[in-house]
Amino acid sequence: MNKRRNFIKTVTAASAAAFLPITSISKDMKNQKMIHQVFFWLHDKNDTEEFLSKAVPMLGQCKTVGNFIPGTPAPTEARDVVDHSWHVSCTLFFDSLEDQAAYQVDPLHLEFIEKYSSMWKTVKVYDIAI
């Protein structure tokens, strides 16, 4: 029952946002919760552990981050639609679009980029209104 309740709660909150046209969402930046989903492809996959233990935690410590989940590719079935080629992911929850914008210029985020950007060859981001 808990699981079902959580599901309904999540869907209700998410759907309310999802059905708003983008322009309406923009006007309501303070209340638009979002996921900032980042994938890193490193130059050297042997750097994965160092990147996870030293670099990535800096992102989770940025002030406006609501929840922070680092990850690595899950060993699920190989299928054409599944991309397992990346090395490290960060799933960041923000309470508003403004909080995500503030995160982009958080001193710790900027320090992370300065110190560690040489370790990745590609970064890909999906910003998800929920």
Cβ nearer to a second copy, comparing 1 with 3: 3
Shortest Å distance, C-beta 88 to a second copy: 8
Which of 27, 38, 31, 1 lies closest to 14, judged by CA? 31
> Using CB under 8 A as the criterion, which residues of the chain lie in contact with a second copy when the complex forms?
3, 6-7, 10-11, 14-15, 17-19, 22, 25-26, 32, 34-37, 39, 48-49, 52-53, 57, 60-61, 65-77, 79, 81-84, 86, 88-89, 91, 97, 100-101, 104, 123-130
The H or E element spanning position 40 is: strand 34-42
Phi, psi dihedral angles at 117 (to 5 degrees): -65, -20
Cβ nearer to a second copy, comparing 5 with 107: 5
Structure tokens at 23: 């322009």
